[in-house]
Amino acid sequence: MQKKTSPINWSGFGFFLICVGFVEIFARLGWLTSYVPPPSQIFVALFQGLISGDISSQIGVTLSVYVRGLALASVLSIIIGILMGTYKPVFDALKIIVEFLRPVPSVAMIPLAILFFGLGATMRISVITYAAFWPLLINTIYGVRAIDPQALDVARNFGITGYEALWRVTLPSALASIATGFRVSATIALVVTITTELIAGNSGIGFYISQMEQANRLPPMYAAIILTGILGYLLNTLYFTLEHKIVFWTPAARERVT
Amino acid sequence: MDAGRAGTGNVAIMNKIFNRGNASGIVTVVVLLLLWQVIASIKQTVYVPPVSTIFVTFIHEWFSPTFGQQAVPSLYRMAVGYFFASVIGISIGIVIGSFKRIYQLLDPVLQFWRAIPATAIIPVGILLIGIGDQMKMVVICFGAMWPILINTADGARLVPTERLDTARIFGLTPIETLLRVIVPSAAPMIAAGMRTGLSIAFIMIVVSEMIGSTDGLGYYILQAQRTFAIPEMYGGIGLLAILGYLLNVLFVSVERRVLAWHYGQSTRPA
């Protein structure tokens, strides 16, 4: 999607700038509510926040919590997903639990997490882990289950079994599905990071947004909101690129390259 | 979010994998619940009350007027917000997807809005509209609209050209083409987007009620935690899980009915 329109979409960016320009003019003329500051002020606030460290220090906090939660979720869900995908008894035993817990909206776990871990980073990491766990788990199970039985048979014929089969057959064929799941999980993880900070954080971009809202300092508030969007976009692009680099052998990936 | 872009194929297969009843799963759950009950009864911690206590509280709380006071407002706000998200998302999505020029023009704007986590918009909603019902509906609508809109636009954009050419050969008017070719072709993508939108709407209602509200399930759970009404908190989370599960089941059954032709067409041997 990012790469396909190889010549830059000038008309689109032009239109975007025109929209921003109109908001600027309307805001300056006072035609909008006072709750919508001119975009130039937001831009200046973003710039100043990044230079002075007000906002940039929060980025570090948010990213560190995000990465830790996502990493923990990835390890757990890939291991459990491979077990559930490979061994039928494990799958049968855990299936109902997955079905029970998956529909619980992750944000509903925030009060529970506060109860156990207080308001610090551990609480946020636990909620992020919970939220990011499910998509990756489901995709891992799906990927492992969708393996061509012939591939496993061939491996067995060559005497490749057990751990080696996992490493050389199961994982490579499941990796495309796992990568997709990871991208979904990563998107959710960022949203949940910001959300927990917003509701019950004591630091991070989400916390900064709610602080600025309460202090009625609107340009920095909007600047931080836009920054979350930029972060999300950059991270998604990063994963997309990595995915193409790492998982290059599936038919879908080859199709996308050509 | 890209979740909806996966299309409906995975979902159908996953449903097939997950929809087999089994005994060992039930045994696992019963054993875990019993363990919870025994350990919680022995250790007597405040944070983890025994399952029986939670269950009794659950029945007592939610089979009472509390359901009308806390759960009904949440569901109502969500229904209104989601309805408008679907209407706006699908209609704008179809227009954007049908005309390549408009798609190109709007793409960066859409990508920009979509990239912003929906929950980060809630403070803006509170500023602009206040903390009433309206704010929640608008915020839910805003959050759930993007996946629906983008999926619809993709679905409409990626209608196979043969179908459009055929429509042209048969002399269909643009409106006929829209209703009989574009909308049906895009329907599976729209459904996938609406499914993502539904789960986002569910998250948005809980978060918006946690941040600024005087009733609703999100408010109830957070308040229960703050007042150390621990069994009530677990019960509230349980109710949210049940509602989330039921909404999903409802959505899938409606989707299967409406898109029966699609599933009939694309059952590939997995």
Q: State how far the alpha carbon of A247 is from the alpha carbons of A155, A174, B43, in Å.
A: 21, 10, 49
Q: Look up residue B159 and give its DSSP letter.
A: -
Mean pLDDT of B106-134: 87
Q: Are the CB atoms for A74 and A178 separated by under 8 Å?
A: no
Residue A136 has which token pair? 């990756």
Looking at residue A202, what is its pLDDT? 85
- Domains of chain B in start order, with CATH, are 3-265 (1.10.3720.10)
Complex confidence, ipTM = 0.81
Q: State how far the alpha carbon of A102 is from the alpha carbons of A57, A133, B165, in Å.
A: 34, 9, 44
A12: closest chain B residue by CA? B105
A158 in the same domain as A45: yes
What is the per-residue DSSP string for A164-189? Answer: HHIIIIIHHHHHHHHHHHHHHHHHHH
Res. B1 pLDDT band, cuts 50 70 90: very low
Q: Are the CB atoms for A84 and A90 separated by under 8 Å?
A: yes
pLDDT in tens, B201-231: 999 999 999 988 888 999 999 999 989 889 9
Q: Does A220 touch chain B if contact means CB atoms closer than 8 Å?
A: no
Q: Which of A36, A97, A213 sits opposite B28 (nearest CB)?
A: A97
Alpha helices (H) along A105-249? 110-117, 121-145, 149-157, 162-165, 171-200, 205-214, 218-246
A44 in the same domain as A32: no
Q: Does A148 touch chain B if contact means CB atoms closer than 8 Å?
A: no
What contacts A133, CB < 8 A, 6 or more positions away? A73, A76, A77, A185
Question: Across the interface, do B221 and A114 touch by the CB < 8 Å criterion?
Answer: no
Residues of B in contact with A104 (CB under 8 A): 237, 240-241, 244
Question: Across the interface, do A229 and B116 touch by the CB < 8 Å criterion?
Answer: yes
User: For B215, how many CA atoms within 13 A lie in the half-sphere containing its CB?
Assistant: 14
Residues of B in contact with A229 (CB under 8 A): 112-113, 115-117, 120
pTM above 0.90?
A: no
A60 in the same domain as A25: no
Q: Look up residue B67 and give its DSSP letter.
A: I
Q: Are the CB atoms for B188 and B9 separated by under 8 Å?
A: no
A112 in the same domain as A8: no
Total number of domains constituting chain A = 2
Residue A87 has which token pair? 């061994």
Question: Across the interface, do A9 and B29 touch by the CB < 8 Å criterion?
Answer: no
A49 in the same domain as A28: no
Mutate one of A34, A87, A96, A140 to test the B interface: name it (highest B CB count within 10 A). Answer: A96
Q: Are the CB atoms for B156 and B125 separated by under 8 Å?
A: no
What contacts B48, CB < 8 A, 6 or more positions away? B36, B40
A91 in the same domain as A32: no
Q: State how far the alpha carbon of B189 is from the alpha carbons of A87, A194, A241, in Å.
A: 33, 28, 24
- Return the number of other C-beta atoms located less than 10 Å from residue A6's C-beta: 5
Looking at residue B87, what is its pLDDT? 96
> What is the Cα–Cα distance from A31 to A10, expressed in whole angstroms?
29
Mean pLDDT of chain B: 84
A185 in the same domain as A99: yes
Would you say residue B3 has pLDDT above 90? Answer: no
Mutate one of A191, A192, A193 to test the B interface: name it (highest B CB count within 10 A). Answer: A191
A77 in the same domain as A20: no
Provide the residue range defining the domain that includes A14: 1-36
The CATH number of residue A44's host domain is 1.10.3720.10
Question: Across the interface, do A16 and B29 touch by the CB < 8 Å criterion?
Answer: no
**Distance to chain A for B3, nearest Cα, Å:** 6
Q: Does A206 touch chain B if contact means CB atoms closer than 8 Å?
A: yes
How many A-B residue pairs are in contact by the CB < 8 A criterion? 179
Q: Does B269 touch chain A if contact means CB atoms closer than 8 Å?
A: no
> What is the Cα–Cα distance from A79 to B40, expressed in whole angstroms?
29
> What is the Cα–Cα distance from A194 to B117, expressed in whole angstroms?
8
A135 in the same domain as A31: no
Please list the ranges in chain A whose pLDDT falls under 70. Answer: 1-7, 250-258
Question: Across the interface, do B233 and A112 touch by the CB < 8 Å criterion?
Answer: yes
What is the per-residue DSSP string for B185-241? Answer: HHHHHHHHHHHHHHHHHHHHHHHHHHHS-SSSHHHHHHHHHHTT-HHHHHHHHHHHH
Question: Across the interface, do B26 and A96 touch by the CB < 8 Å criterion?
Answer: yes
Q: Look up residue A147 and give its DSSP letter.
A: S
pLDDT in tens, B242-252: 898 899 889 98
Residues of B in contact with A109 (CB under 8 A): 237
pLDDT in tens, A190-238: 999 999 999 887 889 999 999 998 888 899 999 999 999 999 989 988 9
> What is the Cα–Cα distance from B107 to B88, expressed in whole angstroms?
17
> For residue B82, what is the enclosing H or E element?
helix B72-98
A219 in the same domain as A124: yes
A70 in the same domain as A14: no
**Distance to chain A for B36, nearest Cα, Å:** 14
